[in-house]
Amino acid sequence: MEGSSSINNGWRICILASFIGGIILIFCLNHSRDDISLSTVQSLAATAAPSNTNEFNTSAHSPATAAPSNSNEFNTSAHSPAPAAPSNTNEFNTSVHLAAPVAPSDIKELSTSTHDDYVKKKPVEIKKEECNIFDGEWIYNPKESPLYNGHQCPFLSDQVSCQRNGQPDIDYQKWSWEGKGLCQIPRFNATDMLKRLKGKRVIIVGDSLNRNQWESLACLLYSAISPSRAHVDIRSGTYKVFKALDYHCSVEFYWSPFLVQLETNQKNGRRNNILKLDEISTSAKKWKGADIMVFNTGHWWVHRGKIKAWDLFQRDGKLVENMELELAFGIAMNTWAHWINKHVDKTITRVFFRNMSPEHKGTQWCYNRTQPMKDEYLITTFPKSIIGIVEKTIGGMRTPVKYLNITKLSQYRIDAHPAIYARKQKQVLIAKQQRQPESYADCSHWCLPGVPDTWNRLLYASMVDKS
């Protein structure tokens, strides 16, 4: 009995131990399953982005992660904390319920939204406003204008010395040409220009309007140095020169109103002025080697009647009495252009062509005018066909030519001509001219100081700007 009891107790212990072991085994199995489930969930939750994806779009309630380092555009939608800004991102915009997961470094575009649509934003291209120094307005500026006193330049001709000739008004000297908007035109700096011209030659070639410009430039530079360090020679009607001795530079004027050759031919007792359309002016041999060249022509081509300069045209060795003006002018301009292309080294010399200086006659008569015109619409008295030929010729040249387009800005300045003050006058002559101003008023040339100083300011601005 006792043995049987011992056996029964042993079975009881074995059954109890098995029961306890089973419970432990079940517990262990359940615990292991929980571990696997948790790790699986964590693994699935932390999904990594593909390595070579170009576009990535997400919409979920996952936590925020770092943004890609080379993204060009970045757009997310979240109420969760914003991720750190990428180092090379151009645009960064957050709005709605989630932040993007980790993205690869070479992603180009990343866009998320509540509707899973792609948002692509292109950067706005802002064009730099080009500064047109020939488009602007005249501003009354007595503090900075004029740039010099006419009495500082004793070599100025009577034709431009309006104050010396008795002109009572001086307000025409006090206007400054200024660019529009953000366009800033540099002030003329005579000392700086002399430094830029050190060791160089400037030639100004053309008619009396270019002589007007030469007088202005010579005076602008002369007023910046000691008179003892300047040399000015104005004795010749066809050649004038200003030299700044300390800068070893010169500004020369050559009279050549057509740029091509005008010759007088005395034959069979008849005197003819022959305009040789295919021969450059004889002074051209002296133009060579200049560092800066400024040309003009046009006014003498439109003269008629007694002031017409030629009797005959010559082309290819043949004399022609009648030829259409535009045709003759075009041939002459091509002759000049060919000479420039052949003889000018564009790596050394800068060439400028100043277009037509307007006259104020007829309905825009300059006499007794003391204010510039304000109208945007201006009646151009100079033939547009001539201006068009100049522009077409320059546009087709191999050698770059800078176009000094001063026609419109000068057209406003009806107040700045010499009018009846183009020569020294006694009181009797003044009274006579005032009674008959139409016989004496010079509405073509310009008083100095005055409008040609602005032409030279724009020449200076063009020299400063190397483009």
The residues annotated with a catalytic role in the active site are: 208, 442, 445
Compute the distance between CA of residue 4 and CA of residue 244 in angstroms, rounded to an integer.
Answer: 142
Neighbours of 300 (CB within 10 A): 18
- Diameter over CA atoms, the chain: 178
Q: What is the DSSP string of 215-238?
A: HHHHHHHHTTS-GGGEEEE---SS
Calculate the alpha carbon distances from 91 to 52, 104, 121, 303 in Å.
21, 18, 8, 65
Surface-to-core class of residue 70, CB atoms within 10 Å of its CB (0-12 exposed, 13-18 middle, 19+ buried): middle
Compute the distance between CA of residue 126 and CA of residue 66 in angstroms, rounded to an integer.
Answer: 31
The helix-helix angle for 325-343 and 384-395 (nearest 10°) equals: 30
Residue 77 DSSP symbol: B
CA 216 distance to own-chain centroid:
24
Compute the distance between CA of residue 2 and CA of residue 157 in angstroms, rounded to an integer.
Answer: 155
Compute the distance between CA of residue 159 and CA of residue 170 in angstroms, rounded to an integer.
Answer: 16
Compute the distance between CA of residue 286 and CA of residue 293 in angstroms, rounded to an integer.
Answer: 12
Which phi and psi angles does 84 have, rounded to 5°? -65, 145
Q: In degrees, to the nearest 5, what angle opens at C-alpha 415 toward C-alphas 434 and 357?
A: 110
Compute the distance between CA of residue 200 and CA of residue 464 in angstroms, rounded to an integer.
Answer: 16
The answer to whether the CB of 373 falls within 8 A of the CB of 379 is no
- Residues with Cβ within 8 Å of residue 403, at least 6 apart in sequence: 352, 353, 355, 391, 394
- Residues with Cβ within 8 Å of residue 252, at least 6 apart in sequence: 201, 202, 203, 204, 214, 239, 240, 241, 242, 290
- Residues with Cβ within 8 Å of residue 88, at least 6 apart in sequence: 69, 70, 71, 72
